[in-house]
Structure 1
Amino acid sequence: MRMRQKLQLYQISVIFSMVFALIGFSYNTWRLEVTEHNSNIRLACFEILKELAALEQLVYIAHYDGDMVTASPRKGWIKVGLIQDFSYLTNEEVKDKAATLHTTWSNNWESITTSNQSVELIVRDIDNVKTNIKALLITLK
């Protein structure tokens, strides 16, 4: 009888140990996945912020300095394209704002040297993307 109780106690402790090990492993796996996902989002956001700054600088050089060599529209197209591509790794709000920026750039890139309104529209959309990125980064854990 005494041996049987010890065997039952051993079996119960083995079952609980397995359950706790499974729970711990599952949590650890989930946590690693979330951390990796957040890391990818952060990296994409930082790359977008760098491209936004470069695009804004390009727009100002083209408009205020009239330097279309340094501020070539081809460089702007590349930056806008990268911003939109990286936005797919973030969330819907950033993706939508990046698409809006792409549309605004498409409609206004030819007149950034002469039109204050074109510059204002592009810079407004750059700021909108920045605002949404900052809001997204704050929500990551």
Structure 2
Amino acid sequence: MAINLKLQFEKNLLAIISLAVAIVALSYNSWRNELSEDNRNIREAGFEVMREAAKLQAYIDTKTYTDKDNSDEAIAGWVSINLIVSLSELISVDIQSEAINLKTVWTENWSGLNEDKAANQKITQANNQLVSAVRTHLARLK
């Protein structure tokens, strides 16, 4: 029986090797596709964070440097902040930390934007730190 098994193994060695190579190739391909999809999702979230940060900066500067007083824009600022925080969770813990810091600085300073340029500077600095961190993170993706 052992001789018969050895003979069957030798007869089918090419098929066994082919099956092993196919399984390894399929496993690698699946792993690589998952990694690529994760990177695509991170990139998309990163671009959205930067887009929302730009909208937020436009609101910040409009509120500080014009006489325009519009409560709808304040709501839009909060929407941008909350979207940034939500999207940051999809990118990385470091980006999420920067987004939470931006929200904290925003919470403390948004109401003084039309009276105090220092409030603008604080929020702008936190916003710029977030965008810079996102850019750095995206540049490291492969």
Q: How high is the TM-score relative to the length of structure 2?
A: 0.91
Instruction: Supply the AA of the counterpart residue of 1:58.
Output: Y
1:70 Cα deviation after fit: 7.8
RMSD: 1.8
Q: For residues 133 and 70 of structure 1, what CA distance do their matches in structure 2 show?
A: 29
For residues 49-72 of structure 1, the C-alpha deviation after alignment (integer angstroms, 9 at most, x for no partner) is 100000000000000013222872
1:9 Cα deviation after fit: 3.9
Instruction: Supply the AA of the counterpart residue of 1:126.
Output: N
Q: Where does residue 103 of structure 1 map in the other structure?
A: 104
1:45 Cα deviation after fit: 0.4
Q: Which runs of 5+ in 2 are unaligned?
A: 1-5
Q: For residues 8 and 81 of structure 1, what CA distance do their matches in structure 2 show?
A: 62
**Pairs within 5 Å for 1:17-56:** 17-56=18-57
1:117 Cα deviation after fit: 1.0
**Pairs within 5 Å for 1:36-115:** 36-69=37-70, 72-115=73-116
Q: Where does residue 135 of structure 1 map in the other structure?
A: 136
1:35 Cα deviation after fit: 0.6
Taking only the aligned residue pairs, the percentage that are identical comes to 27
Q: Which runs of 5+ in 1 are unaligned?
A: none
Q: Where does residue 15 of structure 1 map in the other structure?
A: 16
Which moves more between the two structures, 24-33 or 6-15? 6-15
Q: For residues 92 and 52 of structure 2, what CA distance do their matches in structure 1 show?
A: 18
Q: For residues 41 and 68 of structure 1, what CA distance do their matches in structure 2 show?
A: 36
Q: For residues 116 and 71 of structure 1, what CA distance do their matches in structure 2 show?
A: 21
Q: Where does residue 125 of structure 1 map in the other structure?
A: 126
Instruction: Supply the AA of the counterpart residue of 1:108.
Output: N
1:10 Cα deviation after fit: 3.3
User: Aligned pairs, how many?
Assistant: 138
1:8 Cα deviation after fit: 4.5
1:12 Cα deviation after fit: 1.1
Q: Secondary structure at the match of 2:95?
A: helix
